[in-house]
Amino acid sequence: MLGIKTATSTAFHPQTDGQTERVNQEIEQYLQLYVNHCQMDWMNWLPMAKFAYNNRVQASTKYSPFMLNSGQNPRMGHEQKKTTGLDSVEKFVEAMKRTREDAESALKKAADDMKKYYDRKRGKMLIYALGEKVWLDASNIQTGRPAKKLNHKRLGPFLISKVLANNTYELKLPKSMKIHPVFSVVKLIPFSPNEIPERVVKEPPPPIVKVGVEEFEIEEILDS
């Protein structure tokens, strides 16, 4: 009745829920600019960060979240310049205005920096065909090996068994790998076979991925 539609996604693909990921990163970078050395007062800055973010015009919608939710932006307390006989009131209003402007500037800088560094790593999206071989990024796959730094950086190569979209593919994985075979294009690496016969290495048996344990079937015991 609310018109909510389900948007399925592949695992470890932050681009699908990019808005939440981006907001979290902006808030983290904003807090880095204001927390004390011991990082014990970060929760005190959250209300101002939340208010500044909701009161800022978004680049995608051209409206602020306050405007989209309630149809108006809140009064900041300094729109109409009023004079009072108390210097403390004037100082408080100026301090609030300056703090809000600093918060908005910090959030905008955080968004611009993350966009710049993300776009630097993003190139033209690769398109694979049915039956093509690709490597699979192993950064988010648990193979049971104790040291992740010494583990394989990629697995395969595996055949593409189904093209679900230009950015989502289904791989033909061995039965021993008990994981979902659908992956985003960002997790796939093009496979280029080595044309030098002396450098062609026989593919090892596929790892058996189960409960964090990696196993191989032993073909022959040479010594003990």
Which DSSP state fits 186? G
The pLDDT of residue 114: 77
Alpha helix stretches (DSSP H) within the chain = 18-34, 42-54, 65-70, 87-121
| Average pLDDT over all residues of the chain | 78
Q: Please tell me the distance from the alpha carbon of residue 162 to that of residue 171, in angstroms, as a whole number.
A: 7
Beta bridge partners of 208: 215
Q: Please tell me the distance from the alpha carbon of residue 67 to that of residue 54, in angstroms, as a whole number.
A: 9
Q: Encode pLDDT of 177-214 as tens digits.
A: 888 888 888 888 888 887 787 777 676 666 666 666 66
Tell me the percentage of the chain whose pLDDT exceeds 90.
Answer: 2
Tally Cβ neighbours within 10 Å of residue 116: 9
Q: Which of 89, 81, 186 lies closest to 139, judged by CA?
A: 186
Distance of CA 184 to the CA centre of its chain: 13
| Claim: this prediction has a pTM higher than 0.95 | no
Using CA atoms, how far residue 198 sits from 129, 165, 202, in Å, is 28, 37, 11
Q: What is the pLDDT averaged over residues 83-90?
A: 76
Phi/psi at 133 (nearest 5 deg)? -95, 140
Q: Encode pLDDT of 147-158 as tens digits.
A: 676 777 888 889
Tokens of 79: 């729109």
Confidence of residue 10 (pLDDT cuts 50, 70, 90): low
Distance of CA 18 to the CA centre of its chain: 7
Phi/psi at 150 (nearest 5 deg)? -95, 5
The pLDDT of residue 55: 85
The pLDDT of residue 134: 92
Q: Encode pLDDT of 213-224 as tens digits.
A: 666 778 899 998
Q: Please tell me the distance from the alpha carbon of residue 210 to that of residue 142, in angstroms, as a whole number.
A: 9
